[in-house]
Every structure is written in structure tokens, then in C-alpha cells.
């Protein structure tokens, strides 16, 4: 029973990592940029919801705040691409990496300015509820994280496979120039992708904050999500989720069975080993350049 | 505008392009030596810090600016330098003159060893791998507690050379001169690197790996050498940083420091020695300027001191975003434009430095 | 003994046969051209010789020895230099630095002596510079010495790339479409240079080119390829009049006079 509980809490954590990783992968697939601020996006989404709904801030109803936060993060993502990242068109990947790192600094600073640096937790109707199966006690919040993640992934899958916009996004990720020639508005699609990843980050943030506390440095969690994305191969949405779950599951077991101090290095160890053994993850996208 | 008539091949090999340039740099160096007579001891401490950051920045510059390999984990090599320097002094009772270069060497070897598996990676994959290394290093310091003192950290003794003691608080001016001398040596080595075959092969690897190969450059080996040189210099900077901080822990060389180092050289200007210095100056001066403005504001507002935690990194982030968007070549790039403007006056054209617009160069193919 | 010899070389990419059982040899001192429609496998053959690809079957001999065991960076040491179809120069470096990189195989210093800039390194730099100046004189690149590649026009870049390959002082020079994208005058220059590379420098040239006019004016022998297989080999005249070649890519009607045959 003990092990089962470890698995569930690991799964729940893993789903949050997976969702952040999903955000990386969405943007990477479409624009080849990597958003190092994705973790900070998540933190921001959580804080916006928290600011709307918590009694000592605005005290709005929970679900309204969730919708508001998701909307705001979507718009923020869109504007960010339109105003900032579009200027980076054609510049090297590393420049974009540095830009998004700086963006993370700024987001962290703003979040600290508005909501303070003390850890706070989101007052959600889910927290505190428990689900009992015989001797097994599961936190309702953890179960919800898993359900929402699965639903969101399914939704994204349908979006990319079935809708015109989704297929346009795929096309522009395969070959920007060709997509441009085919009349696909590449720039607008990039902005939409950023909006979408903002939405995913907001959801991840809400889930994360409802099952624990959050403070402005929570964005550093994004590094674990990197491990997840790399394991998944940086090019595949299910891969990102799978990677997140692997990292999430490894953590509690390492904490349990390894001496103290060694457990937290495990996700990074997996990351480094993965990069060395299979540099481009499970699903590789890299080909040799033609000369 | 100055026209230099070159009469021998050495004109392009020499360190300075012409006499006037040599004169200005010598003047700058003289000014740096005389600086302690011009400013207070506190500011000399800050100047020392600028030099130390500039050394670390030059280390990273070899890798990022010259060889085009991103590293988000250079604080790990600063840590190797700082820890090994102190440990050599304590456990083998080595003098600073021996432990200091050895610490750099240790960091260089560590860099080369780590480079072997990870230089196969490109772009973001390399960035992420080095990021992981930075995080791992932080945890490793805690795990290796018997050696490193874990979370309680290590105490760096005063630097002692032939019985003469250098201490940040006791004699800041002498420490400044020592660091200045080391900085000077490293700049000299860096300049030599740039004008010799190794510097050219770095540039070749940066700009086109496939044609570097076709010209006979062993790309994997060149990247390893770049890592080694880069980590050697950064390790020396780390060792100095250890002495300057007097006490350091796993927290001192954390991921944020790795990232900060990268941001410093980007703000300063990638690919140039000047960039490392400009970036370091901005980074060290920023908290000073903030606290000065704060003091000024409190005088006006008279409402006690207003402290905003995280203001420095937030402001630094904003400055950086501004630079990447509007001046990707950093402060040094801006300086070049201004200088060209005056040299060519009134013939400067706005598009002289414009770069070719291009569609995204995919990095999915290598 | 031929300078370069390909023996029954086959290369496949997945299911696609890019080069199918191709054999030919390049004699010392000649200009040998590979022609054929796009996708015929011409550049692929150059890439195999510079060891970027490894053939599935067959062998490649240079001066009688197999080079299949060599790494790409060993190839210029053997004496084979090349240019690329879509110019692969070092964008953020000057013309001079690009050409000096070509001298890399002649460098005997290591990174330690380089960083200390010992007198030996300085002397070596002077020798490299002199060698590079010969190339600059040969290709009339004097005005561009200190210019960054990133700001140079296309035609000059093509010449710089040829210069960089010449700076290697190769025995065999591989040119991948040296005239593509060049104006008529520039193409004429390229023709003269190739002549001089052969006659004055004594370098053997193996080139891939679409411009039949250039090919027939400079090359001693030509091989035509289509779909990875050899169609015809011989003097430019023989190949151009070979019915199989005309059939394959000049079209079935009489097109012997077409300058651009692609």
C-alpha cells in the first residue's frame, strides 16, 4: 500500500513536470526556440489564480479565477511572442535561450513584488479532500492532477491531429519557409503557440499550487521539466508527458531508498546519462546536415 | 579616419594595430594601476570584484563567444577552482603560488573530462546538459562533505606570497593589484589565443563544423581544448572569488551564478575580451547604483529605507532583454558603432552594421 | 597509378540508392567533371570522398591507398581539399582568417605554444601568411583581406571558398558547383582559374558542375550520371554527343547547344 501511495504522489508530481515539459515541447516543435522561462510561466499562472481566489487577496470564486488565469496567461503568451520574440526571428537558438532566461528573472521579480516571497498555497475546493479505497488514502488533489493532465494531453492530441489550426502549426514546425509559401501565417501561428503554452503553464501552475505551496522561486522546477523533455526527445508531446512521469516516479523512490542527499540528484543524473547515451531522446528529430 | 599602411606580415600579427591603439591601452592599464589612489577602499573592493568577474567571464567567453558552445554550468568550474585551491593549501600545505595555478589546472582537466561525452551535443541540448552539470555540482559539494565542508562551507585563508599577506579587509589595495596582475596575464593569453591557429580553429568550429572538418580540424578535439581552456580560466576566477568571499558554500556557486555569468558576457558583447569587462562592470555596479538611488530616494521620501528583494536580478533581466532585442552585440557592439560614427563623421550610415535578415536556420539538421 | 580511384561504390540512404555501383578514376594533372541532373548523386560522390558519408559497398583509393578508414578531418591531411555547394565559410571571421584556417593541416603548434605565442608560433604565422598571400594574389582577393565574410557579396564568397581550399595546398581539389549562381563574367574567371590551378599549380581537379559551357571548356574528361548510376565517360565532346546522355537529361530533341543543362 505504501508503494502504491508513493506511485500516486510520484505520478501527480510527474504530471506537473510533464505539463511544463509539454510547454517546452510545444514551443520547440513550432519555433525551435526553447522557453527557459516556462517554469516561471507556471509559477506566474499559479500566482495569478491565487491572487484572484485566495481570501486574503481578492476572494473570487475558484473556477472563475481559474478561467481568468488561463485567459490571462494565454494573452500574455501571445503578446510576449508578438512584442518580444518576433524580433528574434532568424537569430540563433542560444540568443533566444538567453532571452527567455532573462525573462524568467523578470517574471520572478514581478511575482515577488506583487505577491511577496513567502510560500503560499492555493485555496482550492479540492485541497483536503481524500479518496479512500480500502486501506489506501489518496489526496483528491493528486488524483485531480492526473485526471486533468490526461484530459489535456488528449485534447492537445486531437487539436493537432484534427483541427486546421493544429495542422497548420505542425506544417510550420516542419518547414517554416514552405509553410509561409503555402499561405500559412507563420508569425501568427508562432504567437498562438506561445499562447497555448501559456495556457498549459497556467494549468500546470494551478495543479501544482493546489497540492502544495508556491513561491516565486518555484519556477526553478522547470529544470526538472527539462529532464522530462529531454527524456521524451524534445519533439514529442506524449514523450514529454512520459518523461515527466518517469522523473516524477523516480524522485519519491530515490528519496525513500537512497541515502539523504543523493535522492535529489537523480533526475539530473538521468538527464545527463540520457543526453550522453541518446543525445536526442527517445524520439530523435536531428538529421545530418546536407552539404 | 586612420589608415594604417602595413609593410610586413607582422603588422597583422602584432597585439596592437597601430601605435595610437597601443598608447590608449597602456594608458588604460596605467590608470588601472593608479586606481587605488583615486577612489576609496570600498570602491577598490568593488573594482577587485569586477576584475574577478571579468576573469570568469573571459573563461566563459572562450567557449561561448569564440567556439560557439553554450554553457549554462560554468559556476561548477568556478567551484572546482575555489574548492581545489583551498584544499591544496590546507591538505598539502601548498603555497598560493602553487595551489592557484593547480586549481586552474584541476578545473581545466575537469572541463576536458566533462567535454568528452557532452560536446557531441548542439545548441539547446548542450545548454541543458551544462545546466544539469551546474545543479549536480551543487549537490555533489553537499555529498562530499568531509572534503568540502558541505553546507557549512569552506574558509579560505588569506593569500600569502613569500610571507606577504593579501586580505580583502586588511589590505584591499594590494589584493586589487594582485588580481589586476592576474587579469593582465589572462588577457595576454587570451589575445595570443585569438591571433594563433587555435583561435582560428575555434572560430571555424563556431561558424561551420562541416567545413572545419574539411579543412582538417578535429572538431571533437577542438571543442575539448576549448572546454579545457575555458574551464582553466574560469577555475582561476573561481579560486580568486573564493579568497575574495573568504567563506564559500555550495550556495555560492549555484545555478543562478552560472546563468549570471552567461548573462554578463551577453550584456558585455559576445566574442570580445572587452565584452567580459563591460558585462562585469555593469553587473557589479548595478547593486551599487540601486543602493545609491535608494538612499537618494529615502532622503526625499523620508519614509525609511525601501528594500525590494530581487530588484537586482529583475533589473539585470530587463537590461539584458533590452540588449538582446536592440543591441545583440552588447555594450561593446554599441561602443564600436559610436566609435565608427565619429571616425567616419559625417559619412556614417545607419545600415553599416545591419545584419542580414534570414529565415530561421534550422538546428534540427547538423 | 591513378590519383583517385572509386571502385564499385554504392551508397544507400534507407531504401534510396543514391550512388549505384560507380567506378571511375581521376588521373594526376587532369580536370575531371561530374555532370548530371539534380539528384544524380554527384555531390554525394564528393561527400564520400571527403568522408562525410561512408559507402555501403566498394572502395575509394587515393594514391593507391584506401581512405575509407580516415575520418573527415584526416582527408585534407592526405591532400584533398574541397568547396561546398552552398558556401560553408566561417561567417564571423575575416577573409584572411578564413584562408589561414585552410593552412590548418600545416600547423605544427599546439594550444599551449599558441597561447604563449612562442617565437616558433610567430615564425610559423609568417610562413602561413606568405602562403595565403600567394592564394590572394592568384584569386585577386586583395581588396577583401580584412573584410568579414558576413558582409561580402555572393560571388566573392565563392572565390574565397575556392581560395580556402587552395590554401590547403592539396593534390586533389574537389569543387562542388564552382560556378553556380555566378554571372557570365565571374564564370569566365572561374574557368581561367581552374585552367591555372591545373597548369600553374599542378593540382588535379574533380568538379561537379551544371554549366556545360564551363565543363566543356576546362575539363579533360567528363562523367555523366543519372539516378546514381554512370551513363557515360569520356571527353566532353564524347559525353555530350552520347545518345544515352542526351536521352537522360538534355531531353530527346537535339539540345547539344544548350548552355544550362540541368
Write out pLDDT tens, residues C226-249.
888 998 999 999 998 888 888 876
In contact, B88 and A247? CB cutoff 8 Å: no
Which residue stretches of chain C are H helix?
42-49, 75-78, 95-101, 111-116, 119-139, 154-167, 184-199, 212-218, 236-241, 243-245
In contact, C168 and C81? CB cutoff 8 Å: yes
Q: Which residues between 216 and 255 in chain C have a beta carbon less than 8 angstroms from any beta carbon of chain A?
A: none
Nearest to C116 among B192, B200, B355 (CB): B192
The pLDDT assigned to A290 comes to 54
> How far does Cα B31 stand from its chain's mean position?
21
The pLDDT assigned to B196 comes to 93
CATH number among 3.40.50, 2.60.120, 1.10.530, 1.10.3470, domain B40-283: 1.10.3470
The pLDDT assigned to A291 comes to 54
Q: Where are the domains of chain B?
A: 40-283
B→C contacts (Cβ < 8 Å), by residue, are 9-10, 12-13, 189, 192-193, 195-201, 203-204, 206-208, 210-219, 225, 229, 271, 355-356
Task: With a cut of 90, say whether residue B230 has pLDDT above it.
Answer: yes
Of the candidate ranges A134-138, B330-334, B351-355, B361-365, the one whose mean pLDDT is the lowest: B361-365
* C101 interaction partners in chain B (CB closer than 8 Å): 200-201, 203-204, 212, 215, 217
- Over residues B128-146, the mean pLDDT reads 89
Using CA atoms, how far residue A205 sits from A23, A49, A155, A200, B197, in Å, is: 12, 9, 18, 9, 51
pLDDT digits (tens, 9 = 90+) for B89-116: 999 989 999 999 999 999 999 999 999 8
In contact, B305 and B294? CB cutoff 8 Å: yes
Give the chain C residue nearest B224 (alpha carbons). C111
Q: Which residues between 140 and 169 in chain B have a beta carbon less than 8 angstroms from any beta carbon of chain A?
A: 140, 142-143
* A288 interaction partners in chain C (CB closer than 8 Å): 52
The pLDDT assigned to C258 comes to 45
Q: How many CB pairs under 8 A join B and C?
A: 122
Query: How many residues comprise chain C?
Result: 262
Task: With a cut of 70, say whether residue A20 has pLDDT above it.
Answer: yes
- For residues C239-249, one letter each, b for 16 or more C-beta atoms within 10 angstroms of the residue's C-beta and e for the rest, the string is bbebeebbebb
Note whether C92 contacts B: Cβ–Cβ < 8 A: yes
pLDDT band at A276 (very low <50, low <70, confident <90, very high): confident
**Of C200, C46, C214, the residue nearest C135 (C-alpha):** C200
Task: With a cut of 50, say whether residue B365 has pLDDT above it.
Answer: no
User: pTM (2 decimals)?
Assistant: 0.89
pLDDT digits (tens, 9 = 90+) for B278-314: 999 999 998 888 888 877 777 665 555 556 767 888 8
Note whether C150 contacts B: Cβ–Cβ < 8 A: yes
- Over residues B141-146, the mean pLDDT reads 88
**Of A197, A204, A93, A105, the residue nearest A146 (C-alpha):** A204
Task: With a cut of 50, say whether residue B366 has pLDDT above it.
Answer: no
pLDDT digits (tens, 9 = 90+) for B333-349: 888 888 888 877 777 77
Q: How many CB pairs under 8 A join A and C?
A: 9
- The alpha-carbon gap from B37 to the nearest alpha carbon of chain C, in Å, equals 32
User: A38, A104, A105: which to substitute to probe chain B, counting the most B Cβ within 10 Å?
Assistant: A105
Chains that touch A (3 or more CB pairs under 8 A): B, C
- The alpha-carbon gap from B226 to the nearest alpha carbon of chain C, in Å, equals 9
pLDDT band at B361 (very low <50, low <70, confident <90, very high): very low
Query: How many residues comprise chain A?
Result: 291
For β-strands C172-176 and C204-208, DSSP reports them as parallel
The pLDDT assigned to A117 comes to 85
Nearest to A32 among B70, B314, B360 (CB): B360
The rounded distance, in Å, linking the Cα atoms of C251 and C245 is: 9
Note whether A277 contacts C: Cβ–Cβ < 8 A: no
User: B113, B126, B135, B282: which to substitute to probe chain A, counting the most A Cβ within 10 Å?
Assistant: B135
The pLDDT assigned to C253 comes to 53
The rounded distance, in Å, linking the Cα atoms of B354 and C148 is: 13
**Of B275, A211, B197, the residue nearest C113 (C-alpha):** B197
Of the candidate ranges A95-104, A107-116, C240-249, the one whose mean pLDDT is the lowest: C240-249
Of the candidate ranges A19-23, B329-333, C1-5, C176-180, the one whose mean pLDDT is the lowest: B329-333
CB contact under 8 A, A106 and B318: yes
Task: With a cut of 70, say whether residue A285 has pLDDT above it.
Answer: no
The rounded distance, in Å, linking the Cα atoms of A99 and B70 is: 13
Task: With a cut of 90, say whether residue A279 has pLDDT above it.
Answer: no
**List of E strands, chain A:** 120-121, 130-133, 136-139, 213-214
Task: At A184, give phi and psi (nearest 5°).
Answer: -85, 125
Of residues A133 and B12, the one with the higher pLDDT is B12
In contact, A74 and A199? CB cutoff 8 Å: yes
pLDDT band at A4 (very low <50, low <70, confident <90, very high): confident
Of residues C194 and B128, the one with the higher pLDDT is C194
* C86 interaction partners in chain A (CB closer than 8 Å): 291
Task: With a cut of 70, say whether residue A280 has pLDDT above it.
Answer: no
The rounded distance, in Å, linking the Cα atoms of C155 and C182 is: 6
The pLDDT assigned to B118 comes to 84
Note whether B117 contacts A: Cβ–Cβ < 8 A: yes
pLDDT digits (tens, 9 = 90+) for A217-267: 888 888 888 888 888 777 778 888 888 998 888 888 888 888 777 777 888
Mean pLDDT of chain C: 89
Chains that touch B (3 or more CB pairs under 8 A): A, C
In contact, C96 and C163? CB cutoff 8 Å: no
pLDDT band at C256 (very low <50, low <70, confident <90, very high): very low
- The alpha-carbon gap from B96 to the nearest alpha carbon of chain C, in Å, equals 22
* B260 interaction partners in chain A (CB closer than 8 Å): none
Chains that touch C (3 or more CB pairs under 8 A): A, B
Residue C50 C-alpha cell reads as: 571527403
Degrees, nearest 5: CA angle B179-B181-B186: 95
Instruction: Please list, in sequence order, all residues whose beta carbon lies within 8 angstroms of the beta carbon of residue C31, skipping any fewer than 6 positions away.
Output: C194, C198, C204, C205, C207, C218, C219, C220, C221
Q: How many CB pairs under 8 A join A and B?
A: 155
pLDDT digits (tens, 9 = 90+) for B162-176: 888 888 888 899 999
C207 dihedral zone (left: phi>0; alpha: psi -120 to 50; beta): beta
For β-strands C229-234 and C16-26, DSSP reports them as unpaired
The pLDDT assigned to B360 comes to 42
The rounded distance, in Å, linking the Cα atoms of B234 and B242 is: 12
The pLDDT assigned to A195 comes to 94
The rounded distance, in Å, linking the Cα atoms of A217 and A219 is: 5
- The alpha-carbon gap from C139 to the nearest alpha carbon of chain A, in Å, equals 24
Give the chain C residue nearest A288 (alpha carbons). C52
- C7 DSSP β-pair partners: C59
**Of A19, A245, A17, the residue nearest A152 (C-alpha):** A19
Nearest to A108 among B125, B310, B325 (CB): B310
Task: With a cut of 50, say whether residue A40 has pLDDT above it.
Answer: yes
The rounded distance, in Å, linking the Cα atoms of C36 and C24 is: 15
* B360 interaction partners in chain A (CB closer than 8 Å): 31-32, 89-90, 176
The rounded distance, in Å, linking the Cα atoms of B84 and B93 is: 12
**Of C241, C223, C222, C220, the residue nearest C231 (C-alpha):** C223
Note whether B220 contacts A: Cβ–Cβ < 8 A: no
The pLDDT assigned to B302 comes to 54
DSSP state of B362: P
Whole-angstrom Cα Rg for chain C: 19
pLDDT digits (tens, 9 = 90+) for B190-204: 999 999 999 999 999
Instruction: Please list, in sequence order, all residues whose beta carbon lies within 8 angstroms of the beta carbon of residue B244, skipping any fewer than 6 positions away.
Output: B48, B49, B52, B168, B175
Nearest to B356 among C111, C114, C150 (CB): C150
Burial (CB < 10 A; 0-12, 13-18, 19+), residue A198, is buried
The rounded distance, in Å, linking the Cα atoms of B114 and B134 is: 12
In contact, C109 and B196? CB cutoff 8 Å: yes
C234 membership: H or E segment, kind and range = strand C229-234
* B9 interaction partners in chain C (CB closer than 8 Å): 125-126, 129-130, 133
The pLDDT assigned to B122 comes to 76
The rounded distance, in Å, linking the Cα atoms of C108 and A10 is: 57
The pLDDT assigned to B30 comes to 92
Mean pLDDT of chain B: 87
Share of residues in chain B with pLDDT > 90 (%): 48
3-state secondary structure of B214: helix
The rounded distance, in Å, linking the Cα atoms of A111 and A106 is: 9
Q: Write the DSSP string, B83-102.
A: HHHHHHHHHS---HHHHHHH
* B133 interaction partners in chain A (CB closer than 8 Å): 272
pLDDT digits (tens, 9 = 90+) for B34-87: 999 999 988 999 999 999 999 999 999 999 999 988 899 999 999 999 999 999
CB contact under 8 A, B128 and A287: no
Nearest to B197 among C89, C104, C168 (CB): C104
The pLDDT assigned to C168 comes to 94
Instruction: Please list, in sequence order, all residues whose beta carbon lies within 8 angstroms of the beta carbon of residue B171, skipping any fewer than 6 positions away.
Output: B165
The rounded distance, in Å, linking the Cα atoms of C148 and C96 is: 9
The pLDDT assigned to B162 comes to 87
The pLDDT assigned to C5 comes to 94
Task: With a cut of 80, say whether residue C262 has pLDDT above it.
Answer: no
Burial (CB < 10 A; 0-12, 13-18, 19+), residue B140, is middle
Q: Where are the domains of chain A?
A: 16-220
Task: At C7, give phi and psi (nearest 5°).
Answer: -115, 110
pLDDT band at A275 (very low <50, low <70, confident <90, very high): confident
Degrees, nearest 5: CA angle B311-B315-B316: 115
In contact, A197 and A23? CB cutoff 8 Å: yes
The rounded distance, in Å, linking the Cα atoms of B259 and B272 is: 19
pLDDT band at C7 (very low <50, low <70, confident <90, very high): very high
pLDDT band at A173 (very low <50, low <70, confident <90, very high): confident
Query: How many residues comprise chain B?
Result: 366
- Over residues A166-187, the mean pLDDT reads 78
In order of their start, the domains of chain C are 1-68+198-255 (3.40.50.300)
User: A233, A268, A269, A290: which to substitute to probe chain B, counting the most B Cβ within 10 Å?
Assistant: A268
Amino acid at each position: 500500500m505504501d508503494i502504491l501511495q508513493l506511485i500516486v504522489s510520484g505520478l501527480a508530481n510527474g504530471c506537473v513536470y510533464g505539463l511544463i515539459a509539454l510547454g517546452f515541447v510545444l514551443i520547440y516543435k513550432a519555433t525551435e526556440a526553447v522557453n527557459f522561462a516556462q517554469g516561471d510561466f507556471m509559477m506566474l499562472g499559479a500566482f495569478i489564480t491565487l491572487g484572484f481566489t485566495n481570501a486574503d487577496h481578492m476572494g473570487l470564486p475558484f473556477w472563475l479565477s481559474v478561467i481568468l488565469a488561463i485567459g490571462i496567461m494565454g494573452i500574455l503568451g501571445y503578446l510576449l511572442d508578438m512584442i518580444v520574440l518576433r524580433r528574434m526571428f532568424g537569430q540563433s537558438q542560444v540568443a533566444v535561450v538567453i532571452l527567455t532566461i532573462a525573462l524568467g528573472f523578470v517574471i520572478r521579480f514581478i511575482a515577488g513584488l506583487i505577491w511577496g516571497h513567502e510560500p503560499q498555497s492555493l485555496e482550492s475546493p479540492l485541497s483536503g479532500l481524500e479518496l479512500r479505497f480500502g486501506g489506501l488514502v489518496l489526496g483528491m488533489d493528486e488524483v485531480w492532477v492526473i485526471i486533468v493532465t490526461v484530459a489535456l494531453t488528449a485534447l492537445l492530441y486531437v487539436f493537432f491531429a484534427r483541427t486546421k489550426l493544429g495542422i497548420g502549426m505542425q506544417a510550420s514546425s516542419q518547414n517554416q519557409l514552405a509553410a509561409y509559401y503555402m499561405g500559412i501565417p507563420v508569425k501568427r501561428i508562432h504567437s498562438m503557440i506561445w499562447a497555448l503554452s501559456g495556457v498549459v503553464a497556467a494549468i500546470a501552475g494551478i495543479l501544482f499550487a493546489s497540492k502544495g505551496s508556491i513561491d516565486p522561486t518555484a519556477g526553478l522546477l522547470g529544470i526538472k521539466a527539462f529532464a522530462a523533455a529531454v527524456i521524451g526527445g524534445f519533439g514529442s508531446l506524449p514523450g514529454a508527458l512520459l518523461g515527466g512521469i518517469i522523473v516524477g516516479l523516480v524522485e519519491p523512490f530515490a528519496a525513500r531508498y537512497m541515502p539523504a542527499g543523493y535522492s535529489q540528484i537523480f533526475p539530473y543524473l538521468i538527464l545527463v546519462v540520457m543526453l550522453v547515451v541518446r543525445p536526442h531522446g527517445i524520439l530523435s528529430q536531428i538529421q545530418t546536415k546536407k552539404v | 579616419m586612420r589608415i594604417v599602411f602595413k609593410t610586413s606580415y607582422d603588422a597583422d600579427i602584432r597585439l596592437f594595430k597601430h601605435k595610437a591603439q597601443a598608447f590608449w591601452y597602456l594608458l588604460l592599464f596605467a590608470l588601472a594601476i593608479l586606481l587605488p589612489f583615486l577612489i576609496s577602499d570600498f570602491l577598490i573592493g568593488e573594482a577587485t570584484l569586477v576584475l574577478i568577474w571579468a576573469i570568469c567571464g573571459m573563461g566563459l567567453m572562450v567557449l561561448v563567444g569564440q567556439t560557439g558552445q553554450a554553457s549554462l554550468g560554468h559556476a561548477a568550474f568556478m567551484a572546482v577552482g575555489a574548492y581545489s585551491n583551498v584544499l591544496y593549501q590546507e591538505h598539502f600545505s601548498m603555497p598560493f603560488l602553487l595551489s592557484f595555478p593547480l586549481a586552474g589546472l584541476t578545473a581545466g582537466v575537469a572541463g576536458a573530462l566533462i567535454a568528452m561525452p557532452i560536446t557531441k551535443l548542439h545548441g539547446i541540448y548542450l545548454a541543458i546538459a551544462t545546466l544539469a552539470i551546474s545543479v549536480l555540482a551543487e549537490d555533489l559539494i553537499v555529498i562530499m562533505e568531509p572534503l568540502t565542508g558541505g553546507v557549512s562551507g569552506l574558509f579560505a585563508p588569506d593569500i600569502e606570497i613569500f610571507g606577504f599577506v593579501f586580505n580583502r579587509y586588511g589590505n584591499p589595495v594590494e589584493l586589487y593589484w594582485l588580481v589586476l596582475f592576474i587579469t593582465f596575464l589572462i588577457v595576454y593569453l587570451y589575445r595570443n589565443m585569438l591571433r594563433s591557429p587555435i583561435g582560428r580553429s575555434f572560430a571555424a568550429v563556431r561558424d561551420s563544423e562541416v567545413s572545419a572538418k574539411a579543412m582538417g580540424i578535429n572538431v571533437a578535439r577542438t571543442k575539448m581544448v576549448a572546454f579545457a581552456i575555458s574551464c582553466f580560466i574560469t577555475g582561476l576566477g573561481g579560486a580568486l572569488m573564493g579568497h575574495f568571499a573568504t567563506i564559500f558554500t555550495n550556495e555560492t556557486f549555484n545555478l543562478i551564478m552560472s546563468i549570471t555569468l552567461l548573462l554578463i558576457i551577453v550584456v558585455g558583447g559576445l566574442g570580445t575580451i572587452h565584452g567580459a569587462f563591460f558585462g562585469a562592470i555593469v553587473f557589479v555596479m548595478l547593486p551599487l547604483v540601486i543602493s545609491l538611488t535608494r538612499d537618494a530616494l529615502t532622503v526625499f521620501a523620508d519614509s525609511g529605507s525601501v528594500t525590494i528583494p530581487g530588484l537586482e536580478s529583475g533589473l539585470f533581466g530587463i537590461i539584458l532583454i533590452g540588449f538582446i532585442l536592440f543591441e545583440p552585440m552588447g555594450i561593446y557592439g554599441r561602443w564600436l558603432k559610436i566609435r565608427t560614427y565619429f571616425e567616419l563623421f559625417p559619412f556614417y550610415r545607419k545600415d553599416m552594421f545591419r545584419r542580414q535578415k534570414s529565415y530561421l536556420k534550422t538546428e534540427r539538421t547538423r | 597509378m591513378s590519383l583517385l580511384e572509386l571502385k564499385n561504390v554504392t551508397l544507400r540512404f534507407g531504401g534510396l540508392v543514391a550512388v549505384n555501383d560507380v567506378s571511375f578514376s581521376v588521373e594526376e594533372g587532369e580536370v575531371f567533371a561530374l555532370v548530371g541532373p539534380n539528384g544524380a548523386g554527384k555531390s554525394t560522390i564528393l561527400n564520400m570522398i571527403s568522408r562525410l558519408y561512408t559507402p555501403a559497398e566498394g572502395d575509394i583509393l587515393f594514391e593507391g591507398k584506401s581512405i575509407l578508414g580516415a575520418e573527415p578531418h584526416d582527408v585534407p591531411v592526405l591532400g584533398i581539399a574541397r568547396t561546398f555547394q552552398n558556401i560553408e565559410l566561417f561567417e564571423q571571421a575575416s577573409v584572411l582568417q578564413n584562408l589561414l584556417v585552410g593552412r590548418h593541416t600545416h600547423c605544427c603548434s599546439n594550444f599551449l605554444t599558441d597561447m604563449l605565442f612562442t617565437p616558433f608560433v610567430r615564425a610559423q604565422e609568417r610562413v602561413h601568411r606568405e602562403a595565403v598571400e600567394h592564394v590572394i594574389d592568384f584569386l585577386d582577393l586583395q581588396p577583401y583581406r580584412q573584410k568579414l565574410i558576413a558582409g561580402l557579396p555572393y560571388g566573392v564568397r565563392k572565390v574565397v571558398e575556392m581560395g580556402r581550399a587552395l590554401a590547403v595546398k592539396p593534390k586533389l581539389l574537389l569543387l562542388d558547383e564552382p560556378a553556380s549562381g555566378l554571372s557570365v563574367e565571374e564564370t569566365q574567371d572561374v574557368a581561367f582559374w581552374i585552367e591555372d590551378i591545373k597548369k600553374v599549380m599542378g593540382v588535379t581537379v574533380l568538379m561537379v558542375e551544371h554549366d556545360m559551357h564551363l565543363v566543356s571548356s576546362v575539363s579533360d574528361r567528363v562523367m555523366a550520371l543519372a539516378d546514381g548510376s554512370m551513363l557515360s565517360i569520356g571527353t566532353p565532346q564524347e559525353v555530350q554527343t552520347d545518345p544515352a546522355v542526351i536521352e537522360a537529361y538534355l531531353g530527346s530533341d537535339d539540345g547539344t547547344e544548350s548552355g544550362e543543362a540541368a
